[in-house]
């Protein structure tokens, strides 16, 4: 079995994984599509021709008005790719028309930006790579071989658009986006970062995404939520970020909690404004954010009270989590005044006041008015689009995505504004936004760079895709699909295994922070994957496992078995060079106790390759 044979066979299959599979992704031009290879071939020939011409010209006497920099700027660009026209599908003619119009605008604005900056975009990825990419991004896992076979039967012109529609209708869609938003709302650390409260929030969010709840409604729900978290898990958003308690002798006037963390969390998540530094002083980079703005927003939250007390953590083990509640006590902080200290020691008062000097009206509750101000702010749709765009492209229009300011302007402000307006006009429909993004030309581009777009400073122009590490959740779900462990586990068993895996992954990858989930492949990660009991048990199953099923279906046809293992892990067939190299390795395996052993080792190597671990 894989884990028993690992010591003696590691070097061979490690070379297969790193020399053939990973190199295909990270080092080898073989990973390019046929179109890209032809483009590169023509570009190389053209460059050689230009180089000879330049060499000839350099021998001639320079004219008096020749300028060296202009010669550099006139260097030939690689050929501009001709993108295939993708046919967009829709449930209704209106839906199809809306998508076509928005996607056309995305394509035009990005194309104009590329040409203006003398950037040549990379070419399109092939069908297999698109299937893998869009599956990871929309439903949080790789595709199964059965899904790939179904997708490849779709008409080619509309295939990609139809796959997007299938994924948006999948039962995995709400689960995946519930994972994203739960981590954004609660973070990954502390009492609310895992365990019961985290799971309850994910279940609540899954219901919201299943019914395609508008993004503005989600924001309002979590800002205004009241009740017990066993009945309304939306309250966990504020409960997770209450901050320090106010001294008891001041609680009647200033409220029960300082509410500093939730003030910062609300503005970062929903407005893309980092106000945490304005707690102590005016924002150093954003002249429109002052200390008074921070405490004015904070004052909207000072009537919040918690019922129940969450336990403290002891190491990595959590005590039983009690029921918690959230409510507003209108007799607390009745006049709305709170006090903050300037850096010079002066104590100043403020009442609930939003940015742009919008004041509390008294007609509705304070949190209701805060939610209305947040949703009405011009940054609300822009922040959402920027955050969602970064999920699909590995980078937003700004870096970081939650810090709009004069020093951090969007790379394509016109496109961001237009997408934000469309998102708002169509009732903050997240499925529509995802549909627009995934049907765009930019989303279909390969990660393979050319000489015009291989610099970090042009990554924000989205002329090629960036490599993205899988999140812990994506990795777990992809392993469940590739090993067919999901089919063998009961719902409760899968839930327990998932909890165990995610705790292990987050701990081992050092990603227990509350910011956007992104971890890079490390030696620790590779060792955990290669030596973990869970993964080896899944690989070694003799019944209903990926290897055993492939062998039973294909008998002695080694090429068919190899292809099936590649499809189950990398979502593509093996390339001829890979199949040849692996077949030669199989022929050397004459002393194995079981005919499954070499295929299990191949499967293990594929699962530990960079091509599997990265979203490309």
Q: Which two tokens stand for residue 178?
A: 């519930």
Which tens digits make up the pLDDT trace of 11-41?
Answer: 444 444 444 444 344 333 333 333 444 444 4
Report the alpha-carbon distance of residue 421 to residue 443 in Å, rounded.
20
Give the whole-angstrom CA distance, residue 418 versus residue 110: 12
At 427-443, the pLDDT tens digits run: 999 999 999 999 999 99
Distance of CA 515 to the CA centre of its chain: 12
Predicted pLDDT at 185: 96
The pLDDT of residue 71: 28
pLDDT at 290: 73
Between CA 346 and CA 469 the distance in angstroms is 48
Preceding amide of 379 cis, omega within 30: no
pLDDT of residue 363: 74
Q: How far apart are CA 71 and CA 51, in angstroms?
A: 12
pLDDT for the residue 511: 41
Residue 324, C-beta contacts closer than 8 angstroms, at least 6 positions apart: 197, 228, 229, 235, 236, 239, 306, 307, 308, 309, 310
Q: How far is CA 132 from its chain centroid?
A: 14
CA angle (103, 109, 110) in 5-degree steps: 90
What does the block give as tokens for 197?
Answer: 């409260």
pLDDT at 311: 79
In order of 182, 421, 437, the CA distances from 399 in angstroms are 22, 21, 19
Residue 453: the pLDDT is 96
CA atoms in the 13 A half-sphere facing the CB of 572: 24
Contact between 607 and 8 under an 8 Å Cβ cutoff? The reply is: no
d(CA 438, CA 160): 9
Closest CA to 473 of 507, 500, 498, 492: 498
Phi and psi at 310, nearest 5°, equal: -70, 150
pLDDT at 24: 42
Residue 289's pLDDT is what? 74
How much of the chain, in percent, has pLDDT values that exceed 90? 58
pLDDT of residue 189: 77
User: What's the confidence (pLDDT) of residue 241?
Assistant: 95
Could you identify the residue written with the tokens 């620790």? 524
The pLDDT averaged over each successive group of 10 residues in the chain (616 residues) is 40 44 38 41 48 46 39 68 95 96 98 97 98 99 98 98 99 97 89 87 98 98 97 97 94 94 95 74 63 87 94 55 94 86 68 78 88 96 98 96 92 98 99 99 98 95 95 88 76 76 61 42 50 70 86 92 97 95 88 88 89 92
């Amino acid at each position: 079995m894989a884990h028993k044979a690992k010591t003696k066979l590691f070097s061979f299959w490690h070379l297969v994984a790193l020399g053939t599979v990973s190199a295909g992704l990270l080092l080898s031009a073989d990973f390019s599509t046929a179109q890209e290879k032809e483009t590169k071939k023509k570009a190389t020939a053209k460059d050689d021709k230009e180089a000879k011409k330049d060499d000839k010209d350099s021998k001639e006497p320079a004219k008096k008005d020749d300028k060296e920099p202009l010669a550099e700027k006139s260097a030939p660009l690689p050929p501009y790719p001709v993108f295939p026209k993708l046919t967009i599908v829709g449930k209704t003619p209106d839906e199809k028309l809306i998508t076509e119009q928005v996607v056309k605008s995305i394509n035009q604005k990005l194309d104009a930006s590329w040409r203006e900056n003398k950037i040549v975009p990379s070419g399109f990825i092939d069908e297999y790579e698109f299937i893998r990419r869009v599956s990871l991004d929309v439903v949080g896992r790789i595709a199964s071989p059965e899904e790939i076979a179904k997708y490849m039967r779709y008409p080619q012109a509309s295939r990609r658009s139809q796959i997007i529609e299938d994924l948006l209708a999948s039962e995995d869609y709400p689960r995946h986006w519930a994972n994203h938003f739960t981590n954004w709302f609660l973070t990954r650390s502390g009492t609310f970062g895992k365990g019961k409260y985290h799971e309850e929030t994910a279940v609540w969010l899954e219901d919201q995404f299943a019914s395609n709840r508008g993004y503005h409604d989600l924001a309002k729900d979590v800002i205004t939520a009241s009740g017990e978290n066993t009945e309304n898990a939306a309250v966990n958003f504020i409960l997770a970020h209450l901050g320090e308690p106010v001294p008891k002798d001041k609680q009647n006037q200033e409220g029960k909690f300082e509410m500093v963390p939730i003030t910062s969390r609300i503005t970062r998540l929903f407005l893309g404004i980092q106000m945490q530094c304005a707690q102590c002083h005016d924002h150093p980079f954003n002249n429109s954010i002052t200390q008074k703005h921070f405490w004015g927003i904070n004052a909207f939250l000072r009537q919040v009270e918690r019922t129940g007390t969450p336990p403290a953590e002891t190491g990595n083990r959590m005590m039983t989590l009690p029921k918690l509640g959230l409510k507003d006590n209108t007799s607390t902080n009745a006049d709305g005044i709170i006090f903050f200290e300037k850096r010079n020691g002066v104590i100043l008062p403020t009442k609930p006041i939003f940015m742009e000097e919008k004041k509390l009206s008294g007609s509705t509750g304070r949190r209701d008015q805060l939610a209305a101000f947040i949703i009405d702010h011009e940054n609300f749709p822009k922040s959402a689009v920027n955050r969602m765009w970064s999920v699909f492209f590995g980078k937003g229009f700004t870096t970081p995505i939650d810090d709009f300011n004069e020093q951090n302007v969007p790379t394509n402000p016109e496109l961001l504004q237009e997408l934000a307006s469309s998102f708002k006009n169509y009732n903050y429909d997240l499925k529509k936004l995802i549909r627009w993004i995934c049907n765009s030309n930019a989303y279909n581009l390969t990660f393979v760079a050319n000489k015009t777009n291989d610099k970090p400073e042009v990554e924000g122009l989205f002329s090629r895709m960036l490599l993205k590490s899988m999140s812990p959740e994506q990795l777990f779900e992809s392993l469940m699909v590739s090993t067919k462990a999901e089919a063998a586990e009961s719902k409760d068993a899968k839930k327990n295994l998932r909890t165990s895996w995610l705790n292990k992954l987050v701990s081992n990858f050092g990603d227990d922070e509350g910011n956007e989930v992104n971890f890079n492949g490390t030696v620790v990660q590779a060792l955990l994957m290669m030596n973990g009991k869970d993964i080896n048990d899944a690989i070694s199953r003799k019944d209903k496992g990926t290897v055993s099923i492939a062998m039973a279906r294909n008998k002695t046809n080694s090429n068919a078995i190899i292809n099936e293992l590649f499809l189950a892990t990398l979502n593509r067939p093996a390339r001829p060079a890979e199949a040849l190299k692996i077949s030669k390795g199989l022929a050397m395996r004459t002393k194995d106790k079981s005919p499954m052993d070499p295929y299990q080792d191949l499967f293990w190597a594929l699962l530990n390759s960079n091509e599997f671990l990265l979203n490309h």
